[in-house]
């Protein structure tokens, strides 16, 4: 299924490259500008690396590093020069790209956001991380849901970020909305290695989806990120995976058409269908209720664990206890294919 990493691309294939980007140090606007340029250079490397590549994926924190700084001068906007540079790089190299930004939020803490940009420079997907890695991360909880977009060669793409992937509901939501390829970008360090692998595989199998996941790589002198880009097939098997070599691009040809075939034709283990059609052999159409207490309680605003939880804010990691309440979902601000800044056509 990997097509020798995409070297032998089929007419139904989508070739994806996962960049095990060197963990950067970004503490000043000058370093932010330099890292923006570095990412754009690696978009070019991806295209030169493989002419068949459709989409290149950069890890979470690729632009900002792991400092957790919320300094206003380092935060990014959709209209800013960093995103404009990413859009231009996708045009120049005729490739789709997935990028990570820490996004300025005038109403609170910054968002940890992800973008999928097509080969014309249009932003096709804009996502704010729903589940920051608390208590370590200071980011505002996302409020735009889990978006899905049309991707290259007729595929359906979604993006979840790092800790999101530890919640089975996240990949399930993406698949329920039609995603065939679920991207997961991360900055994880070595203690998460085992959980990273098994959740990438479980998210694929439980949803009959392909998962494509990548972390930052190398050391910034304080933290050691693990790289370990990996592709998992919809049966939960690993298609291919990387190790800890910085800036290596792990590639595979993915087959969304086989995902669609499995979702339609599988009987045994078609779990995303069977979730709402329990026991359809015994009763017509299966049971179509919601037997899960936690789902009812979340919807009713009464979610309560039957045990005590000690860590419920960021004070163990040096953050002040918050005083603001969550405002809830908002209308998605992205206008499909809107030009944020003029984009030049590739020569």
Scanning 12-125, the segments in alpha helix (DSSP H) are 29-49, 81-92
Tokens of 4: 């020798």
162 flagged as catalytic:
yes
CA–centroid distance for 270 within its chain: 24
pLDDT in tens, 117-144: 999 999 999 999 999 999 999 999 999 9
Supply the pLDDT for residue 2: 67
Query: According to the CATH classification, is domain 3-275 in 3.30.70.20?
Result: no
Q: Is the pTM of this model over 0.85?
A: yes
Nearest CA-CA partner of 239 in 217, 267, 259, 265: 259
pLDDT of residue 185 exceeding 50, the answer is yes
pLDDT in tens, 72-92: 999 999 999 999 999 999 999
Going from N- to C-terminal start, the domains of the chain cover 3-275
pLDDT in tens, 298-344: 999 999 999 999 999 999 999 999 999 998 888 777 744 444 444 55
CA 222 – CA 92 distance, rounded (Å): 35
Nearest CA-CA partner of 145 in 165, 133, 131: 131
Nearest CA-CA partner of 53 in 259, 216, 250: 250
The active-site residue, picked from 90, 98, 149, 162, is 162
3-state secondary structure of 18: strand
Scanning the chain, the segments in alpha helix (DSSP H) are 3-6, 29-49, 81-92, 168-176, 193-207, 256-265, 271-274, 293-300
CA 112 – CA 102 distance, rounded (Å): 5
Tokens of 314: 């960021």
| Mean pLDDT across the chain | 94
Express as a percent the part of the chain with pLDDT over 90. 91
11 flagged as catalytic:
no
End-to-end CA distance of the chain: 33
The active-site residue, picked from 40, 82, 98, 129, is 129
Contacts 24+ apart (CB under 8 A), 323-330: 324/108, 326/141, 326/143, 327/107, 327/143, 328/143, 329/143, 329/144, 329/145, 330/143, 330/144
The active-site residue, picked from 9, 40, 60, 253, is 60
Nearest CA-CA partner of 220 in 23, 10, 2, 20: 23
60 flagged as catalytic:
yes
């Amino acid at each position: 299924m990997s097509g020798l990493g995409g070297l032998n691309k089929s007419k139904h294939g989508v070739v994806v490259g996962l960049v095990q980007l060197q963990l950067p140090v970004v503490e000043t606007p000058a370093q932010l500008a330099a890292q923006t340029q570095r990412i754009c250079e690696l978009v070019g490397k991806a295209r030169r690396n493989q002419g068949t590549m459709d989409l290149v994926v950069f890890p979470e924190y690729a632009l900002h590093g792991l400092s957790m700084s919320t300094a206003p001068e380092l935060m990014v906007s959709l209209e800013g020069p960093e995103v404009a540079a990413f859009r231009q790089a996708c045009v120049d190299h005729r490739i789709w790209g997935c990028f990570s930004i820490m996004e300025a939020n005038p109403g609170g803490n910054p968002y940890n956001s992800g973008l999928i940009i097509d080969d014309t420079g249009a932003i096709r997907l804009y996502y704010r991380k729903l589940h920051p890695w608390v208590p370590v991360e200071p980011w505002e909880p996302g409020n735009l849901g889990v978006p899905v977009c049309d991707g290259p060669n007729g595929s359906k793409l979604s993006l979840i970020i790092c800790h999101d992937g530890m919640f089975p509901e996240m990949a399930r939501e993406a698949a329920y909305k039609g995603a065939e390829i679920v991207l997961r970008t991360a900055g994880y360090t070595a203690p998460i290695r085992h959980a990273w692998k098994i959740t990438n595989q479980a998210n694929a199998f439980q949803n009959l989806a392909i998962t494509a996941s990548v972390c930052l790589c190398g050391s910034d002198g304080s933290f050691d990120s693990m790289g370990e880009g990996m592709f998992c097939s919809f049966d939960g098997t690993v298609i291919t995976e990387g190790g800890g070599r910085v800036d290596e691009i792990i590639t595979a040809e993915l087959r969304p058409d086989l995902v669609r075939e499995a979702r339609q034709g599988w009987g045994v283990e078609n779990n995303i269908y069977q979730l709402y059609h329990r026991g359809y052999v015994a009763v017509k159409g299966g049971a179509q209720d919601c037997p899960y207490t936690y789902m009812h309680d979340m919807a009713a605003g009464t979610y309560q664990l039957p045990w005590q939880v000690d860590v419920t804010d960021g004070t163990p990691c040096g953050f002040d206890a918050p005083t603001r309440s969550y405002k809830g979902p908002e209308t998605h601000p992205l206008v499909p294919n809107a030009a944020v800044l003029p984009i030049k056509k590739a020569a």
